[in-house]
Amino acid sequence: MTHPTPTNDTDLFTCERVEDVEVLTFHKHLLHHLTDLAAKTRILDYLDSVSRDATIRVFLIIAAPQRLDKEEYLTFYRQYLSTATAADQTQLKRLYNGLNQFIIKLYNINPFVVHAGSGNTAFLFMNLSLLCDYRITTKETLFENPALDLGLPPKGGGVFLLSHLLGPAKCAEILYSGRDIGMDEALSLGLVHRIVKQETLRTTALETAHAFAHRSPQALFGTKKLLGYCMKDLEGFLEYENKILEATLRRHQHEEM
């Protein structure tokens, strides 16, 4: 194995090349950064560069060790909601639009994508992992569903992605119940592909990425594009999702007046 290329460090993420695998390691969760124009531009430009680089066979994303769990997600979101009036939802719209841009960039990226994550994780970050081609997690991980507690529909394309993966009925059962998903169920549903020990997560993720990198890139690319064809309406769905969320928020604010 060759030595990695020099790392590129930012407050938000580190990227490095290990042979023909590009490794993106997040230090912090994305949400606070998507309303920061400089930070958002940095991550979106980086994803563009990965998509253009034909020497990258596999793109490995390692999620931040401090994940945004249900309670932290609710606290974060309520801070935004408390500052959003019916007349001015600028910050919230900026957050939604930044998240949509990240989702579309990740969805359209060319290399095969492996995702590795652990810890209690709000559904939003589960949704982001579902955009990836192969997903690794740990036994202790829990996908937490905060939408009903928040009083808003879920954000992040979850309805779209879960409907395609599980079918509308199973998607509805999960989202309407407000229940969490443990990893045994996640594995049986196909939401994750492999469960490993926490201490071996990064090593296993790198080994998995290299294994995919040694397969036919043409076959991986072609299969990836064919699987993605059925989700070609994702961008339109995200725009509609924003409208539903904004309308729901206006109703909440009207009721509180």
Into how many domains does the chain fold?
A: 1
User: pTM of the entire structure?
Assistant: 0.90
- Sign of the dihedral defined by the CA atoms of residues 31, 12, 132, 114, in that order: negative
Whether residue 4 has pLDDT greater than 50: no
The answer to whether residue 2 is domain-embedded is no
**Distances from the Cα of 47 to the Cα of 54, 143, 238, angstroms:** 13, 25, 19
Whether residue 54 has pLDDT greater than 70: yes
CATH number, domain containing residue 108: 3.90.226.10
Domain around 66: 8-256
Q: What is the pLDDT of residue 144?
A: 92
The answer to whether residue 69 is domain-embedded is yes
Q: What is the pLDDT of residue 7?
A: 56
pLDDT band for position 179 (cuts 50, 70, 90): very high
Provide the percentage of residues in the chain whose pLDDT is more than 70.
89
Q: What is the pLDDT of residue 88?
A: 57
The rounded mean pLDDT for the chain is: 88
Q: What is the pLDDT of residue 67?
A: 67
Q: What is the pLDDT of residues 131-149, one digit of tens each?
A: 999 999 999 999 999 888 8
The answer to whether residue 1 is domain-embedded is no
Tell which residue, 23, 47, 78, has the closest CA to residue 208. Answer: 23
Q: What is the pLDDT of residue 9?
A: 62
**Distances from the Cα of 42 to the Cα of 7, 14, 30, 113, 218, angstroms:** 15, 12, 12, 19, 29
